Structure 1
Amino acid sequence: MNKQLELHSLSKKYKKANHYANENINLTFNQGEISAITGHNGAGKTTMLNQIIGITKPTKGSITFDGVSFATDSKMAREYVSMMPQLHAPLDGVTMAQSVESILKIRGLNQKEAKKECNKILEELKIDEWKDTPGQKLSGGLRRLTSFAMAVAFPSPIIVLDEPTNDVDPIRRQIIWKHLKKLSNDGHIIIVVTHNILEVEKYADRYILMNRGKVLEDKNLKEQSIEISERNHMVVNFINLNDLKDVIIPNAIKTNMDNEELVIAMELTNDQVSDAINWVMNLIRERKVQNYKISPKSLNETYGEMIDGDDENSRK
C-alpha cells in the first residue's frame, strides 16, 4: 500500500507579520517519488519543511502520514522524518564519523552497528578519507556532505532536504542525487528544496514552484518538462568610451549600456547568438573591444520570470 504525506489547507502566519509565510497549501507526496521544490528566498519553502518535521506549528490546516497528524504530534513527526537543514550541522569539535555515528545511535543502533553503517554511507558518498577530520577543518562542501550523511545514514520513511548540494562539487552532487534516487526506489518519500533547475529536470520526478507562500506550479516531470528560457547574455567590454558611444548594435537585440564600466550587456535569443558573435569579432579586429563573454540565461532568472508573471497577475 502506497503511504502518502498529505498537506491540506496548510497555512502559517507568524506573530506581527502582515502576510502568511505559506497559505492554503494542498500537496500530496508519494512513496518512491523525489519532489523538488523551488522558489525565491521568502517563498515559504523552509517554513513548509519546518511544519512537516514538527518544528513550526501551522496556524491552520493539517499534515498527515499513515494516519498520524504531524501538526498535533511533533514527536511522531520527528520519528517519521529525517531532515537535512539549509545551514551546516554544528560539527566543531567532532569528526565527520562521530557526527554520523551519533545520529545512528540516537536511532537505536549500538556502537558496532553505528560504526558499520557510518562507514557504509561515507564510502558511498566517497568522503570516507575525511571521516576522522574534525568538523572545523572540513570545507563547506564536506560539511554539507556530512549533514547529508547524517540525514540518510538511517533513513526515515520521509526525507526532507534543504539545499543539499550547496557548496558541493559537481561529482558529489551527482552522487547525492543518485543516492536519493536509490532511496526513493526503496519506497522513501523524498522532498528536496533546491535552486538548481537543471538538476531537478535530470533527477526529480516532480517539480513544485512556490511564490509568496503559495504553490505556483506542480508538474510531474515524467510527463512534462520545465520550460527553460531560450535567451542568453552577452557582455562586451570596450577599450574606450568613444567606441562604446558610436557602436552600431544589431537590430532587435535588447541592450544595457554602462559608460563608466565601458560595457554593453546584451540579451539574445538563440537565433541571434551567431550574428552577435560575428558582430563582436569584427569589433575585436578593429581594436575596439577588449573581450566578451556569452552565457545561457541563469536558471534562477528563468523561474524568477515565472514568479514575476504571477506577481503581475496578483496586482491586477
Structure 2
Amino acid sequence: MTQKLFTLKDLLPVAQKNHFAIGAFSARFTGMIEPIIRAALELQSPVIVQISKVEFSWYQISLPYYVRKFHEIYSKVSPNVPVCLHLDHTNTLEFVQEAVSGGFSSVMIDASSRPLEENIAYTRQVVELARKRGVSVEAELGRILSSDKFETTSEEEIFTDPLEAERFARETGVDALAISIGTVHGVYFTKQPKIDFDRLEAIRKHVQIPLVLHGGSGIPVEQIRRAIQMDSGGVSKINIATELEMTLYESLGILERLPDVEFWKLPSQQIARAQDAVRELTKKKIKDYLLSDQKAYLYD
C-alpha cells in the first residue's frame, strides 16, 4: 500500500534539526516525476516534487492532469521514502484553492511583490485555507530575481530583512519561508552567485521556522553545504529547477521548450535516456549537494 504524501511541516523541521536539506525538484514535464522519485528511493532520501503555476501554462499541462499522472506514478513506484507534492510559486488565492482541493500536499503563495502589510494579510488567507485541508504553506519575503535581471545595482533592496522576516513568520503562521540572500531563479551567466551568510545567520536568529533557498541551480557546492550545516539550522529546502530541465534537454539534443504532450511523442529510447539523465542528476544533488541521502529513516 502506498503511504500518504508528506507536507513541508512533516519534512523540514527534521531536516533543520539534523543539518541536511531536502531537494524540491521541479518536474516541469510529467515524464520527470518518476526519475525524481526513483532517485530518492535509490538513495533513501526524502524528496519534494514540485511545479509552479506558470509552468502549467509553459508546458501546456492542466493541474488535474498533473496530479493524476503524479498519483499514477506514485502508486506504481510505491516508494518507502517521504514524498511531498508541492505547488511552487503561485500568486492567486484561486489557484491555491484548486491545488489544495486537487491533491497537492503543500503550496507556496508568493505575494512578495506586494508591500509587507499586504503580503502578510494575503499569505494569512492562504494559510487559513490550506490548514483546513492539512496542506502546508510556504511563502516568500524579499524579491528573488530571475537570472535575466540579476545585473542590478539595488540588490540590498530585494534581500530579506531579518526583523521583517520575524514579524512575517509570526503573523502569517506559514510552515516555511523562502528568503532572498543572493541567489536567483535560473542559471548564472555573468555574475557568480554569492550567498550572504551574515544575512542568513541574522534571519535564522530571528526566525524559528524552516528556511527555503530558491534558485539552487548552479550554486557552488561549498556554499550550499555551508548554508545547510550552519549551527543555527541554516536552510532546509532547496529548489532545483533550471539545471534539471537543461539536463533533460541536453540528453535529447534539443534547444527549445517542448509541451508535455510532445515529450511523450518522442521515441521510447529518447524518453528513457532523458529520464535516466534526470534520475542521475537528482541522485547527485541528493548525495553531494543536499546531504539528504540515507535520511529517510528519520521519518519512520
TM above 0.5 = no
Higher strand share: 1
Greater relative contact order, per chain length (Cα 8 Å cut-off, separation 6+): 2
Q: Work out which of the two has the higher radius of gyration on C-alpha atoms and give 1 or 2.
A: 1
Higher helix share: 2
Which TM-score tier does this pair reach, normalised by the shorter chain?
0.3 to 0.5
